[in-house]
Chains A and B, each alone.
Chain A
Amino acid sequence: MKGFYLRWTGLLLVGIWIVAVGAQYYYREVRPLTPEQVAREHPAGSVRMIGMVEAGSMVKEAASTQIQLSLIGNGQRIPVVYEGNDQDSLRDIKTLVVVGRWDNTRQRFMAQKINLIPNYGFITAAYLVMIPMALFLFVMERRVRLLYNEIKLSKIYEPEVGGL
């Protein structure tokens, strides 16, 4: 039984490591910030911001490839300048994720890309099914080992050897 428990402890540690790496990846690559967080933290580097396009805030100049709009979320309004290809995805009162950088000097968000809203809650819920699967397997394996031990300890093989 010692080897069995060691193996499962190893598997548990690998599982915990995968969850930790997954969480790290989510916070680094997937999780968007709210306009309120962007206004408070003034993040350096490329970030994702999720918010709703404020109604009537979109302004597009005919000669320019830029669109100016405001994203709102958590009671905060952030001016955004979007310069990208997917301009048809921008609509009033639509919630979306923009990828870009915070311009601290002009106090506005310079976006280059629009991303889909990540549904990682659903994905996590689906993959959680692996936990009962592992538990199911653990219980079965443990039962098999206990049965082998029980058979061994009770010496019930003996009558069979004797020609029952």
Chain B
Amino acid sequence: MIRKIRKYEGWFGATGAVCIAVGLYFGLAASPPDSYQGEVVRIMYVHVPFASTSMTAYGVLTVASLWYLWKRDPLIDNLAHASAGIGVFFTSGALYTGSIWGKPTWNTWWTWDARLVSFTILLLILIGYLMLRTFIEDKERESRYAAILAIVGAVDLPIVHFSVEWWRTLHQPLSISQRGVAIAGVMLYPLILMSVGFYLLFTYMVGVRTQMLYLKQLLEAKKGRLLGEVHL
């Protein structure tokens, strides 16, 4: 499995980098400013991919946690752990870029909006997940408790997604939904390119981090630090 990750991860990274580079060109130079938001709309080309990738990261974490509880495969536990670490980064990035977009658009860096609050809770759950993994000595218990926390925390995912539909929020409603696409084509293409690039980059980052966690554990186990509780 690790060999397969090593073999194919580079393709994900390279394709992701190309998509992001082309998306950046279209987003920053080739697409027009929005009639209402002006140039600030260009922040969307990085904010939306950050937000959607962080949701995907939590989705991967949830699926991997369920899979771990079922199969008890330590490599899947590493995958879940890696997704959480990368997820923290992407979720923080989404909140950071959203806050910067909010200042010129809403005239505030932060507001107690349902989407913003539920997204911040997602970040706190991910941080809690990572903290939990440092508190428990026993590796098997650590993985099990962390998986349960991730699965319980997944209840926040639909809340984040549908918050703009369920409550009256300042955050704009879904631009791409079953009702159709509410974005002009010239702005949609850079957004899609950047989103695809971020998904590929996320896949690459998860691959690298999974290897990192696996190798660290392998090294520790082989050095005899975890002799009594080798979890590999």
* B29 interface residue per 8 A CB criterion: yes
Contact partner of A122 (CB less than 8 A), chosen from B17, B21, B103, B219, is: B103
User: Are A22 and B33 interface neighbours, CB within 8 A?
Assistant: no
Number of interface residues of A (CB under 8 A): 33
* A133 interface residue per 8 A CB criterion: yes
Contact flags B189-207 to A (C-beta < 8 A → 1, else 0): 0000000000000000100
Most buried by B among A30, A122, A143: A122
CB within 8 Å: A-B pair count: 77
- Give the dominant DSSP class at B's interface: helix
User: Are A141 and B100 interface neighbours, CB within 8 A?
Assistant: no
User: Are A156 and B223 interface neighbours, CB within 8 A?
Assistant: yes
- Give the dominant DSSP class at A's interface: helix
User: Are B205 and A140 interface neighbours, CB within 8 A?
Assistant: yes
B37 to chain A, nearest CB (A): 9
Contact partner of A126 (CB less than 8 A), chosen from B21, B38, B47, B212, is: B47
Once bound together, how far apart are the Cα atoms of A122 and B89, in whole Å?
Answer: 20
User: Are B212 and A144 interface neighbours, CB within 8 A?
Assistant: yes
B residues bordering A, Cβ < 8 Å?
A: 17, 21, 24, 28-29, 33, 38-40, 42-43, 46-47, 50, 89, 93, 96-97, 100-101, 103-104, 205, 208-209, 211-212, 215-216, 218-219, 222-223
